[in-house]
Amino acid sequence: MHWAGFIAILSAVASAIAASLGAPKTKERAAISANAFRALQQDVRIFLKIDLPALSDGDARERLQSLVDRLQELNKDAEIPSPKAWKRAKSAIDGGAQRYEVDQ
């Protein structure tokens, strides 16, 4: 039993070290994803406010599908946020952090 406890503690320490070393990489990937989502948000605004009124139905559907495809790709590749980060982001959004006059 003595060895099993030692191995369990050693394993926990190794896992903690690995998580700490991987944190900067995770943070970088999260920042890249956030920037990609912001770029998509801006492109959607341009589509809705500028391009859409001048497009035919077929062209509008095509452009909308390309935006939806980008969103799905971003969602597929994005890091899953921790529960704490998700709650913090939800609180910020509920508080108006993502409300812009142009979107109204």
In a domain, 101, yes or no: no
Instruction: Decide if pLDDT at 10 tops 70.
Output: no
Q: Specify the DSSP element, H or E, that contains 52.
A: none
Query: For residue 3, is it within any domain?
Result: no
pLDDT tens for residues 12-35? Answer: 666 665 556 556 667 778 788 888
In terms of residue numbers, what domain contains 40? 21-78
**71 within 8 A of 40, measured Cβ to Cβ:** yes
Total domains in the fold of the chain: 1
**In the predicted model, what is the mean pLDDT of residues 75-96?**
80
Closest CA to 22 of 79, 83, 75: 79
- Is 84 within the bounds of a domain? no
In angstroms, rounded to a whole number, what is the distance separating the alpha carbons of residues 23 and 91?
23
Residue 91 in any domain: the answer is no
